């Protein structure tokens, strides 16, 4: 079964608005990552947050992590049409139990309308 | 920098045929992975190789075999293809492996496989 579950499954907004996507997971993690996938392409890494961190920023991206609720959110500010893509969260377990594997959620399809 | 290169990009097979998906990375990464992506299912790990000479099963290994040919190359073989293996396959690699902690994956562009 999938470790991460994204919410919502699909999100449609206007250019300039903020987009928020959420990810919930079930088991203890070492880190949580967000990836973007443009249509017909491979996934591209966006940002990583470790289990002892609560918030990270990268450009227009802000990621939060609440380990007590086993959830994370990705905020994209001032969205652009080029942000249209699917966004996936991926959880990394503790190395001694899950080695180098990442487990991906089902993704959120974001559409930014010009 | 080519990154992760997968071949072929598209393939159509008949049920029972065999084929090998090739993957090569030029980033000197230790770990390599094969995922499949199906609508509504996200990405599911088929097999991975934490380091050269080792391979391990992932979430959905049945019907597949892998070979870590050397540090650069990791191939995925379907011995007897079935319609349920129709999917988009992604190879990925990462710097760290084993007990090193966080692994950031670099993905290939994907291989779209249809089994009739």
Tell whether the model's pLDDT for residue A98 goes beyond 70. Answer: no
For residue B115 the two structure tokens come to: 């089994």
Tell whether the model's pLDDT for residue A19 goes beyond 50. Answer: yes
Task: Provide the greatest CA pair distance for chain A.
Answer: 46
Alpha-carbon distance B75 to nearest alpha carbon in chain A (angstroms): 17
Q: Which of A31, A23, A28, A24 is nearest to A86 (CA)?
A: A23
Residue pairs spanning A and B at CB distance below 8 A = 76
Q: Do A101 and B58 make contact, defined as CB atoms within 8 angstroms? A: yes
Q: Which of B35, B107, B102 is nearest to B66 (CA)?
A: B35
* pLDDT band at residue A1 using 50, 70 and 90 as cut-offs: very low
Range in A22-31, A98-107, B17-26 the model is least confident about: A98-107
Range in A19-23, A101-105, B5-9 the model is least confident about: A101-105
Average pLDDT over residues A60-74: 97
Residue among B56, B90, B100 minimizing CB distance to A42 = B90
Q: Which residues of A touch B99 (CB under 8 A)?
A: 95-96, 99
Which residues are CB-neighbours of B30 under 8 A, at least 6 positions away? Answer: B50, B51, B52, B71, B94, B95, B96, B97, B98
Please check whether residue A87 is in contact with residue A35, taking contact to mean a CB–CB distance below 8 angstroms. yes
pLDDT in tens, chain B (116 residues): 679 999 999 999 999 999 999 999 999 998 899 999 998 778 999 999 988 889 999 999 999 999 998 999 999 999 999 999 999 999 999 976 544 467 889 999 999 999 99
Average pLDDT over residues A13-22: 97
Distance CA B43, CA A43 (A): 10
Q: Any bridge partners for residue A21, and if so which?
A: A74
Please report the pLDDT score of residue B100 as a whole number.
44
Distance CA B116, CA B103 (A): 36
For the four alpha carbons of A16, A14, A41 and A95, in that order, the dihedral sign comes to positive
Q: Which residue of chain B comes nearest to A32, CA vs CA?
A: B102
Distance CA B84, CA B95 (A): 32
DSSP secondary structure string for all residues of A49-87: EETT-SEEEETTEEEEEETTTTEEEEEE-S--GGG-EEE
Torsions phi, psi of A95, nearest 5?
-55, -35
Q: Which residues of B touch A45 (CB under 8 A)?
A: 104-106
Residue among B40, B56, B99 minimizing CB distance to A96 = B99
């Amino acid at each position: 079964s999938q470790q991460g579950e994204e919410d919502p499954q699909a999100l449609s907004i206007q250019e300039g608005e903020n987009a928020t996507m959420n990810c919930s997971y079930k088991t203890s993690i070492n880190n949580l990552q967000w990836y973007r996938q443009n249509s017909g392409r491979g996934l591209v890494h966006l940002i990583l947050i470790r289990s002892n961190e609560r918030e990270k920023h990268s450009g227009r991206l802000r990621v939060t992590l609440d380990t007590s609720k086993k959830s994370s959110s990705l905020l994209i500010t001032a969205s652009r049409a080029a942000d249209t893509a699917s966004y996936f969260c991926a959880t990394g377990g503790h190395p001694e139990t899950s080695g180098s594997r990442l487990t991906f959620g089902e993704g959120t399809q974001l559409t930014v309308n010009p | 920098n080519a990154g992760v290169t997968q071949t072929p990009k598209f393939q159509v097979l008949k049920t029972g045929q065999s084929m090998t998906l090739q993957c090569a990375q030029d980033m000197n990464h230790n770990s390599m992975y094969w995922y499949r992506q199906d609508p509504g299912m996200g990405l599911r790990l088929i097999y991975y190789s934490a380091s050269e000479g080792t391979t391990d099963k992932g979430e959905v290994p049945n019907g597949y075999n892998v070979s870590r040919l050397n540090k650069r190359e990791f191939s995925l073989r379907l011995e007897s293809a079935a319609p349920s293996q129709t999917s988009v396959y992604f190879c990925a690699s990462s710097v760290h492996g084993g007990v090193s902690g966080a692994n950031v994956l670099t993905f290939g562009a994907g291989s779209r496989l249809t089994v009739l």
